[in-house]
Structure 1
Amino acid sequence: MKKLKRVMHDKNRKKLPERVETKVGENEWASDDGNEDDLVSLEGSDDNENEKHPVFKEPDSMKNVNLVVGMKFQNAAQFRVALRDWCIRNGVDIEFLKNEAARVTAKCKVEGCEWRIHASPIQGGPTFQIKIMKDKHICTRTYENRLANASYLAKRIENAIRDNPTIPIQQLKNRIRSKCNVDVSRFKVMRAKKEALQRIRGDDAKQYELLWDYCETVRNCNPGSKLILKKLENSDPPVFDRMYLHALKKGFMDGCRPIIGLDGCFLKTVYGGQLLVAVGRD
């Protein structure tokens, strides 16, 4: 009888799963072998994953944002932008070991420094997550970072140029040093300012392409309107020459005195030319 009870007790006992630990060595990285299915270095499970791992929300400034293991990003592009900004603000110059759609691995450029970071998608989806990060540095802060290219700087100084388009280059250079903690050359600042102005004002060529849509919109919204858009002869693709609006002529003839003033100016754009303006008094 005692033997039968002991057998039933053994059958009803729940068998606990064996705990499997996955360790990543000093020189072993997920991107080296291409297999990340067994990578379980993150804490927590799927049930409390949203509570354990922070989600990156792109702020106006990365000054108070730290990259940590488990942080999630919408896609690989957002992770690269955050990594670039974090490295520039913290004075870390990096090089990419793997920079692919399925994984991004980077390390510090200083020889002997152990700083590394690795991120990859979660279960094959678009969401990127930092899987491994060694955040210990033995190198000093650098103020010359090749990650701070003209496109990056243009986004950082866009608001300053919007407020003051004629801001001097040296003043912009000092602003970049104080805001981004990075030293750049005057030529790079000039390229960044040019790109920022283009972002603010728009592309001149694309604005000329909108003239056809403008004429069609005027005809549809104002029946009877007459517009003539002329291009240069033998131009392929078509190049804008001049445009005639009948409504302006009718307004001058019906409502203005027979005294018309004429003024003009030179266009300081990539296309150049002159702009003539006729002014009348009602």
Structure 2
Amino acid sequence: MKEDKCPWVVLVSRPKETDEWVVNTLVNEHRCVQSRTIKACNYKFIATNIVKQIESNPTIPVNALQEDLILKFEMNMSRMKVHRAKALAQKHVFGDFQKQYAILRDYGVKLMEINPGTNIKIDCHTEPNINFNIRTFRRIYICLRALKEGFKANLKDFIGLDGTFMKGPYPGQILTVVGVESNNGIYPFTYALIKNEDKQKERGIIPAIAKLYPQAEHRFCLRHIYDNMKRQWKDKELKYVGVCNCYYCKAFSESIRRAKKFNAESHDWLIQIPPAHWARSHFSRRAYTNILLNNLYEVVNGKIQGGRDKPIIYCLEYIIEYLMKRICNVQREIDRSHGPLTPSTTTLLDQMKR
């Protein structure tokens, strides 16, 4: 039997010399109403039909999937059913969130075998009850050998610390450490994934760095300082004070006085932050850069955004893939360059000669 617009068909015959029936032709594909009604009601069946679509476009909205499926099967289906099907298809494509935590240590061991000299540390919390053989993930730290050696070889002694939040069912943060290369570009060289935001650790960054690197200078991102000021004082002209951009202490003093006349309360709040952390006039002469913002490091957060809502191993591999691509792009620029200096340094030197 073959219904209109349905390719399903079976052709059988029975030879005269036997009582058995033989299938000659079989097209086992249904598009008839009965088949669609039975199969499309099952979200697992829907998931098998959207796996390739999820692979090519992981961020496709549920509404768009729902419209495509309605056109394909010519029948209505609920948004919740499509949502469940998408979640199942994503699990098939990217892996299971919970199971990937269970094999995280094996992943770390394999990564160190493939990249000798790579540093990986995994911290877990063990249940106090010895009858339960359960460990809870806390954090993982990864520093690839190639990036570590590159940083030690020819980079400025300037690093930035930043983080971005995970978006999956398990909350957490991706922390990145980014340097500045000789061409004044970003150089991400180590990263970590922690279970959630730890305010106590956040407050302990400055004393920890001061203990490990007593000669290091700590700077705050000017944009974050300004955002904190805006929450209390809505004056848009606050950002035009220009105190931070002064290169000399005399100019700084004049600018800070103008800021006090403009808004005394914001002035009193600002001077509580040591100027050595945010004003160029108070930077030591050992400083390798006059960067005041963390825009360079926000670039990394934007590049790894595609892995923030994925299982942990997929997320870590997503970051590694970005780092490998960046290394190749930088090497391509190096191969195209001529002369002993980097392109940005050459341009700056040419401007100074004019």
Q: TM-score, normalised by structure 2?
A: 0.39
User: Relative contact order: is structure 1 or structure 2 higher (C-alpha 8 Å, sep ≥ 6)?
Assistant: 2
**Higher helix fraction (1 or 2):** 2
Q: TM-score, normalised by structure 1?
A: 0.47
Rg bigger for which structure?
1
